[in-house]
Amino acid sequence: MRWREGRRGGGIEDRRGLGGGKMAGGGLVAIVIMLIGYFVFGIDPFTTQQLISDFDSAGMQQHGEEGTPRDEAGLFVDIIGANINDVWSARLNGYRAPKVVLYDAGTQTGCGFGQAAMGPFYCPNDATVYLDLRFWREMETQLGASGADFARAYVIAHEFGHHVQNLVGTSDEVRKAQQHAGSESEANVYSVALELQADCYAGVWAANAYEASGGRITLEAGDLEEGLKTANAIGDDTLQRKATGRVTPEQFTHGTSAERVQWLNRGYNSGDPEQCDTFAGL
């Protein structure tokens, strides 16, 4: 994937190094266990904070340096994020870019205290994408995802997809539907549809990245396959099988590996967000 000559957005807030408290249990094992808890068992990421008791600065507001990060990983997020915004600005009337915050360990958010164990996440209350970039390494080493640039960009574009859903009201509709659901498994069906649509939106971005950047950002041979490898690695059935040796469909919250691959592909092949109706028939 060629991206280094892409437009820089300059709107990244970098809180890395500010400190945010310690992960309960500490270390890599705790992060992996909590990631699986979220992706496999459908635990709302913001309820995770209730399990954390030793964050000294959980109630403190944090403000990092804003602009374009100077390191390679931060620069990547800035350039890819700017391109995603350019794609959606051309596709969605009234589009407003989300804020993007880089952090490590934990940070205060508009949705409560955020931590690395949640993975990348979007908070609708403050319209912000939160990224602990160490998650990429955990995806690759623990979950079997690809380490290619496009695979990482797909993760970012997925979270921006949740921002689009927030702007157009899809997220609110899903929350209302879940409140009226007759069971947790029924509510999870709407969660799966929301996540698969964000995958599709990530594919829409990828299909339009070249045009929106004037050719400065482009996928190369094999890039899409690396993104599909990552989508396959983080499907609910795959994660459940790794964690417990069995699959429990009623606990799915993000969709199966096959579904995630299907919808990422659909967004990429169509390049049209209108083709991302994952809610049809619900």
pTM of the model: 0.85
The pLDDT value recorded for residue 217 is: 98
| Terminal CA-CA length for the chain | 37
Diameter over CA atoms, the chain: 50
Instruction: State the Cα angle at 235 between 232 and 239, rounded to 5°.
Output: 110
Please tell me the distance from the alpha carbon of residue 176 to that of residue 273, in angstroms, as a whole number. 23
Output the tens digit of pLDDT for each of the chain's 282 residues.
Answer: 999 999 999 999 999 988 654 444 444 544 555 555 555 555 555 444 444 434 444 445 668 889 999 999 999 999 999 999 999 999 999 999 999 999 988 899 999 998 877 789 999 999 999 999 888 888 888 888 888 999 999 999 999 999 999 999 999 999 999 999 999 999 999 999 999 999 999 999 999 999 999 999 999 999 999 999 999 998 999 989 988 999 999 999 999 999 999 999 999 999 999 999 999 988
What is the reported pLDDT for 58? 44
Give the contacts of 210 (CB within 8 A, at least 6 positions apart): 217, 218, 219
Instruction: Name, in order, each residue with C-beta under 8 angstroms of 40's C-beta and a sequence gap of 6 or more.
Output: 236, 239, 240, 243, 244, 251
Token pair for 206: 């990828």
| DSSP type of residue 260 | H
Residues 105, 115: contact at Cβ < 8 Å?
yes
For residue 88, what are the CA distances in angstroms to 113, 150, 273? 29, 18, 10
Write down the number of H helices and E strands in the chain: 9, 7
Residue type, 60: M
Q: What is the DSSP letter of 117?
A: G
> Under a CB-based contact definition with an 8 Å cutoff, are residues 115 and 45 in contact?
no
* pLDDT (0 to 100) of residue 22: 44
Question: What pLDDT, on the 0 to 100 scale, is given for residue 86?
Answer: 98
**How many residues in the chain?**
282
Model pLDDT, residue 48: 47
Per DSSP bridges, beta strands 99-102 and 106-109 are unpaired
Number of neighbours of residue 54 by Cβ within 10 angstroms? 11
pLDDT the model gives residue 43? 58
Residue 220's contacts (CB-CB under 8 Å, 6 or more residues apart) are 1, 2
Residue 53: the pLDDT is 37
Residue 29 belongs to what H/E stretch?
helix 27-41
